[in-house]
């Protein structure tokens, strides 16, 4: 007999497939088109083998409702999506995947307090769920509770050190708090492969630079440049790093390369002027 988890995974998988296939459900009729029926049969759990016992009401009405939720959400009609989702809240009150989706929709509708309440409720059911924990932390940040979010994210990274979304979010909030050394540590934990995670290297460089570890920042910037040469930030970072290390001539070389790639950015010209001023003072 399928569990509530099986039902919800089936419903949400169907919704995702229908959205990708751009199928349309006639909500008023509460029936499926031929294309939708074909998709139903391809899913791991379908009405034919779902069972008919108590608690297994895989009805067209319920399927239509969940599909409608996803369609309204895709169209930006979050008020309607939230209202329809809330109509099944009692039935799925102890079902974490449902609660996570409910939280996402509430957050999309800017009902942050309600989303936070549902997320905390879900955490009591599945405290070791990394996706849920990151979602809770994000809501805490939006509500101004950064320290609480940091606590949640640090515990999450300790349990799942390679879970990149948590490490990146933790680093972001730590940098906003001026805790750049800790941010660098959080990022280093998720940069397992510089080539695979090259998009994080400039951010890692910046956190090291802001922490005052200029030599480590220089090395990180060169690593970023090797794996992500098209990113202009590495050139700017190296210019700033060498300027702080009293190597103005090298800084001038790097800022020149940055300006070559982005000549329309006045902040780069301003940095070059600062570097030239330092050279003239020497």
pLDDT value at position 16?
65
- Name the more confident of 96 and 41: 96
CATH pick for 193-282 out of 1.10.3720.10, 2.40.30.60, 3.40.50.300, 1.25.40.10: 1.25.40.10
At 227 the pLDDT is: 92
Integer Rg of the chain from CA = 25
Q: How many CB atoms lie within 10 A of CB 58?
A: 18
Instruction: Give me the mean pLDDT over the 52-67 stretch.
Output: 57
Q: pLDDT tens digits for 11-44?
A: 667 666 665 554 444 443 344 556 555 655 554 4
Higher pLDDT, 11 or 192: 192
Q: Label residue 223 by pLDDT band (50, 70, 90).
A: very high
Q: CB-based contacts of 76: which residues, under 8 Å, 6+ apart? A: none
- pLDDT exceeds 60 at position 63: yes
Confidence of residue 92 (pLDDT cuts 50, 70, 90): confident
Range in 60-74, 124-138, 235-249 the model is least confident about = 60-74
Give a three-class secondary structure readout of 159-224: HCCCCHHHHHHHHHHHHHCCCHHHHHHHHHHHCCCCCCCHHHHHHHHHHHHHHCCHHHHHHHHHHH
Can you give the pLDDT at residue 53? 40
> What pTM did the predictor assign?
0.76
- Half-sphere exposure of residue 149, counting CA atoms within 13 Å on the CB side? 25
pLDDT at 51: 42
Locus of tokens 């169907």: 14
Ordered by start, the domain boundaries in the chain are 1-75, 114-190, 193-282
What is the reported pLDDT for 194? 84
Tell me the pLDDT band of 231, cut-offs 50, 70 and 90.
confident
Fold of domain 114-190: 1.25.40
Closest CA to 109 of 87, 134, 77, 86: 77
Which residues contact residue 82 at a Cβ distance below 8 angstroms, ignoring those fewer than 6 apart?
102, 105, 106, 109, 111
Taken as a whole, the chain contains a residue count of 282
What local confidence, expressed as pLDDT, does residue 18 receive? 61
Q: Mean pLDDT throughout 133-155?
A: 96
Burial 60-93 (b: 16+ CB within 10 A, else e): eeebbbbbbbbbbbeeebbeebbebbeebeeebe
pLDDT above 90 for 211: yes
Average pLDDT, the chain: 84
pLDDT at 48 over 90: no
Label residue 230 by pLDDT band (50, 70, 90): confident
- Asked, colleague to colleague, whether 114-190 and 193-282 share their fold, the answer is yes
């Amino acid at each position: 007999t399928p569990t509530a988890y099986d039902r919800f995974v089936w419903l949400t998988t169907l919704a995702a497939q229908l959205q990708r296939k751009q199928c349309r459900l006639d909500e008023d009729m509460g029936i499926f088109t031929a294309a939708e029926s074909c998709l139903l049969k391809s899913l791991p759990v379908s009405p034919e083998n779902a069972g008919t016992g108590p608690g297994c009401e895989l009805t067209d009405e319920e399927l239509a409702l969940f599909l409608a939720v996803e369609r309204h959400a895709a169209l930006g009609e979050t008020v309607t999506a939230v209202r329809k989702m809330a109509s099944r809240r009692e039935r799925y009150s102890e079902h974490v995947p449902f609660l996570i989706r409910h939280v996402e929709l509430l957050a999309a509708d800017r009902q942050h307090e309600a989303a936070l309440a549902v997320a905390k409720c879900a955490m009591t059911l599945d405290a070791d769920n990394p996706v849920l924990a990151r979602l809770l932390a994000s809501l805490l940040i939006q509500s101004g509770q950064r320290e609480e979010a940091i606590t949640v994210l640090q515990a999450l990274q300790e349990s799942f050190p390679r879970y990149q979304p948590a490490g990146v979010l933790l680093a972001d909030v730590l940098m906003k708090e001026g805790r750049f050394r800790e941010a660098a540590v959080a990022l280093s934990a998720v940069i397992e492969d510089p080539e695979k995670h090259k998009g994080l290297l400039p951010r890692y460089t910046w956190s090291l630079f802001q922490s005052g570890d200029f030599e480590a920042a220089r090395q990180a910037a060169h690593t970023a440049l090797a794996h992500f040469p098209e990113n202009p930030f590495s050139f700017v970072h190296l210019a700033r790093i060498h300027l702080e290390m009293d190597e103005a001539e090298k800084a001038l070389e790097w800022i020149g390369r940055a300006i070559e790639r982005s000549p329309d950015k006045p902040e780069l010209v301003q940095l070059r002027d600062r570097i030239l001023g330092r050279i003239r003072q020497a």
